[in-house]
Amino acid sequence: PALAAPDYAGAKASLKAMIDADPNIGPTMLRLAWHSSGTYDAMTKTGGSGGGTIRFKEELAHGGNAGLDKMVAKLEPIHTQFADVSYADLYTLAGKVAIEAAGGPTITWRAGRQDALSPDAVTPDGRLPDADKGKGPGANAKHLRMDVFYRMGFNDKEIVALSGAHALGRAHPDASGYDGPWSPSPTALNNAYYNLLLNVPWTVKEWKGPEQFEDPTGKLMMLPSDIVLIQDKAFRKYVVQYSKDNALFFKDFAAATSKLFELGDRKSVV
């Protein structure tokens, strides 16, 4: 008899149930999906979501992945229940489910990623974006373009669209070192991030942690890599567009996110 297809619908329902039980899990699921995909290098065709390598302790030890070991552990029972669904598919599917649970656009997602069997497939540390290169706006803009997003095959518009995910979740001092939410509604995806960037007088936070910016209430924050999106002319024009048009943001965000989750080796498509 033919083998039964992996139960993607069941895995999706279980992921959704996790978010329903604790909406704050959603943004971390998206971060896991993002970081599992964001190691891709278009020149060498290495990295990306294809191998599910973020489950290995060698990749979880990378600086940008601090704290994600907890989410990997939380998803382990779902993988055990739906063992035919690869880790690589499960992690990217979690990102799709998280975006949609947050009221975001529908993300086109295809199954068929095959897991790497050993940590040999883990790419070198340093491929994920840094919040601050410590040398001013020019260095941060160059880092986002040359070190990270252009390497994956994204353009300036896609960089700004993908940054809109910062409407979700918050930074945690025990993970990234930074602290606080980007928006007042960290479990709802919308274009608030762009409006906040443009219209709030952001100032450098006085504290013992790394440089970050705060709003006048001290409750919201932006990273140097966020602020550079309004300091850099080419980036800023897209921030302005998305701040005025949530539907345009959703359209471009969905396309860029689907592209992101596809990065990496894929043997088959179902």
pLDDT tens, residue by residue, 139-148: 999 999 999 9
Chain centroid to Cα 24, Å, comes to 15
Pairing of strands 180-181, 203-204: unpaired
Can you tell me whether residue 119 is helix, strand or coil? Answer: helix
Give me the DSSP letters along 15-78: HHHHHHH-TTHHHHHHHHHHHHHTT-BTTTTB-SGGG-GGGSHHHHTSGGGTTHHHHHHHHHHH
- Which of 133, 137, 104 shows the shortest CA–CA distance to 27? 104
Q: Is 182 a catalytic residue?
A: yes
pTM of the complete model beyond 0.85? yes
Backbone φ and ψ for 17, nearest 5 degrees, come out as -65, -35
Mean pLDDT taken over the chain: 94
204's enclosing H/E stretch is: strand 203-204
Query: Which position among 34, 79, 143, 182 bears the catalytic label?
Result: 182
Q: 44-58, 123-137, 241-255: which range is least confident on average?
A: 123-137
Confidence of residue 269 (pLDDT cuts 50, 70, 90): very low
> Could you tell me if 243 and 191 are in contact, meaning their C-beta atoms sit under 8 angstroms apart?
yes
Q: Is 35 a catalytic residue?
A: yes
Tens of pLDDT, residue by residue over 217-234, are 999 999 999 999 999 999
Query: Which position among 34, 35, 143, 202 bears the catalytic label?
Result: 35
